[in-house]
Structure 1
């Protein structure tokens, strides 16, 4: 099953469970990626978050139920996961612009969020600078944070903000390798590493802020972790390394959108079960490392 088929299968799972619990872990397993990466991928392809899409689909179907059925409003609310009629009515009014009771009694205009369907498109408008690297095993020293996968988008920017305030970044900066040795320590710069668990099996993920302190190569000297920092090991793997230079966060967002919508579906590669790594260097230079395997 190719990448686009996996995505469409995950959408079918959502569609079949709009009136039941939708497991983000199940979605990630269908797409063969972590929960965090599935949410990231979805938002860049669909131009809306996964939670927003699910909410919009449920409210779309709730409107059809109001128009075409005789179920009580409270029963429709419970069907689509709302704990009370008031909570459902508020969400319904935000989305449709009218309350559920009005739909039953008047002719009104309603919004609709159609079911998504993914397909390969080749635009050819923007080029991507990347290279496929067979990179040896490497180690990172840093600080890990356990966070809920569903809250990752909101939590991660705050982790970086706190790391600058509490001196973490300064300590890492002072322990960068010598300038003439920097080329040997890749992934380079400050690293943001998102470990989302094996194929969606974990409700929590680990996010690491750190630097590379060793690569298994003769020319690379081992830098022992600083006091208070952990060390994390990653195996030799094939990495698609994308240049993402420019102002943040737009530069990395653009790369992710192109990667998921254009590069991956046409590349013949699949996502590997390894973290996604963002590398932040000087002068608005960034790289995104995504582990891949041949499909």
Structure 2
């Protein structure tokens, strides 16, 4: 074996050791599987994901509006949605609608992602809103979510990157047919944001 071949084999072995993506997403169809493999590359040796379990025994009412996003462009598009919401005053409108006093752990500005936790379609609706008991403005809508068991992860972007291929396979849970909720808290809250993932015990 020459030196070039040995170097290539070493690099290939290192890549195999580090990448845990490809077999995990073979159940997706079409280009979406390729997209997920590129976005969600995980390396062995990373620390275990921090999370806690929460139980919510009541209906979650969220006031807001939804925007259809393409799954392949969702990270970029959702970031733009938030930027636009701050510029056009929608973010402030949601803050004004939200509860003045904290009523439970699921608070802040919320981003509801599609119809269920496993996003397999080419597009989904991102519903940006708040929990509120106030009157619903005519230009906004309401969604209701009913589910009791949630896995809650700090740092939304990191949670999305590692949820499906790192945490879920060995968690003892499976995803419920309920959407994940991104939760963005007021200033000085620790953590500043969390991903709420609906699960059921296997």
Superposition TM-score, scaled by structure 2 size: 0.72
Task: For residues 105-149 of structure 1, give each alpha carbon's deviation from its aligned partner in whole angstroms, at most 9, with x where no partner exists.
Answer: xxxxxxxxxxxxxxxx6x584561412424422110011101222
Helix, strand or coil: the match of 1:146?
A: strand
Structure 1 counterpart of 2:111? 192
Q: In structure 2, which of residues 114, 122, 135 is the aligned counterpart of residue 203 of structure 1?
A: 122
Gapped regions of structure 2 (runs ≥ 5): 1-21
Q: In structure 2, which of residues 63, 68, 83 is the aligned counterpart of residue 141 of structure 1?
A: 63
Structure 2 counterpart of 1:183? 103
Indicate the structure (1 or 2) with the bigger Cα radius of gyration: 1
Task: For residues 158-205 of structure 1, give each alpha carbon's deviation from its aligned partner in whole angstroms, at most 9, with x where no partner exists.
Answer: 1111111111011111122122xx124x52101111115696664321
Superposition TM-score, scaled by structure 1 size: 0.52
233-242 or 165-174, which deviates more: 233-242
By how many angstroms is 1:252 displaced? 2.7
**Equivalent-residue separation in structure 1 for 2:28 and 2:46 (angstroms):** 31
Q: Which of structures 1 and 2 has the larger relative contact order (alpha carbons within 8 angstroms, sep 6+)? A: 2
**Equivalent-residue separation in structure 1 for 2:129 and 2:90 (angstroms):** 9
**Equivalent-residue separation in structure 1 for 2:100 and 2:49 (angstroms):** 33
Helix, strand or coil: the match of 2:182?
A: strand
**Equivalent-residue separation in structure 2 for 1:294 and 1:241 (angstroms):** 15
Structure 1 counterpart of 2:142? 231
Structure 2 counterpart of 1:58? none
After the TM superposition, which residues 66-105 of structure 1 pair with which residues of structure 2 at under 5 Å, given as runs? Answer: none
Higher helix share goes to which structure? 1
